[in-house]
Amino acid sequence: METIVASSRRISSDVRDYRALRARRRAEQDEASVQEGTDLATMSDRDRFEALVVMNGWTPSELERQLLAVRRTKLMAICGSVAGTVLAMASMFLVPVWILFVIAPAAALFVIMGLIRTLQFGLFQAQLEQRRLMKFHVYLGRQDLFMHLFS
């Protein structure tokens, strides 16, 4: 009986030690992430981009492949939006009216999602081309936004 009691005390002591160690490690990680966050907040857009490149270990050839993939994905999002619009317009004449109550919202959602993805990948493309982490509102304020979206 005493061995069971001693064993349970030892286990509870080990659990307390583990919890204390875990709390200490969590506090150290939180402190390190706060310090890292303040360092990144004071950096410029270009410096943050370069820090991201170094942190992920990307080479210039990998960045070029990423840029090509972003351009292709943006093109597919544009093509999907156009195809969704064409199918929605064609369905207005090909299906009964009651089915349009299902098709119209789905088609509108599909087109809106395609446009949002186009803007998102346009932002990624601009960030890779200019090698700086610009914010979305800065990207939307560009003078050549529409030309950039379709390039």
Query: Once rounded to an integer, what is the mean pLDDT over residues 122-137?
Result: 91
Q: Are residues 36 and 65 in the same domain?
A: no
Question: What is the predicted pLDDT for the residue at 150?
Answer: 81
Q: Are residues 94 and 135 in the same domain?
A: yes
Q: Is 50 within a domain?
A: no
CB-based contacts of 82-90 (< 8 A; 24+ apart in sequence): 84/110, 84/111, 84/114, 85/111
Q: Are residues 126 and 76 in the same domain?
A: yes
Q: What is the pLDDT of residues 9-61, one digit of tens each?
A: 676 777 777 788 778 878 777 676 655 555 666 788 888 888 888 888 889 99
Q: Are residues 137 and 64 in the same domain?
A: yes
Domain residues for the domain of 94 are 59-149
Q: What is the pLDDT of residues 87-124, one digit of tens each?
A: 888 888 888 888 888 888 888 888 899 999 999 999 99
* Closest alpha carbon to 128 in 50, 72, 73: 50
Q: Are residues 22 and 65 in the same domain?
A: no
Q: Are residues 121 and 72 in the same domain?
A: yes
Q: Are residues 93 and 118 in the same domain?
A: yes
Q: Are residues 35 and 70 in the same domain?
A: no
Determine the Cα–Cα distance for residues 93 and 4; give it in Å rounded to an integer: 80
Question: What is the predicted pLDDT for the residue at 121?
Answer: 94
Higher-pLDDT residue of 63 and 31 is 63
Q: Are residues 86 and 123 in the same domain?
A: yes
Q: Are residues 26 and 64 in the same domain?
A: no
Number of domains in the chain: 2
Q: Is 48 within a domain?
A: no
Q: Is 141 within a domain?
A: yes
Question: What is the predicted pLDDT for the residue at 5?
Answer: 62
pTM score, whole prediction:
0.68
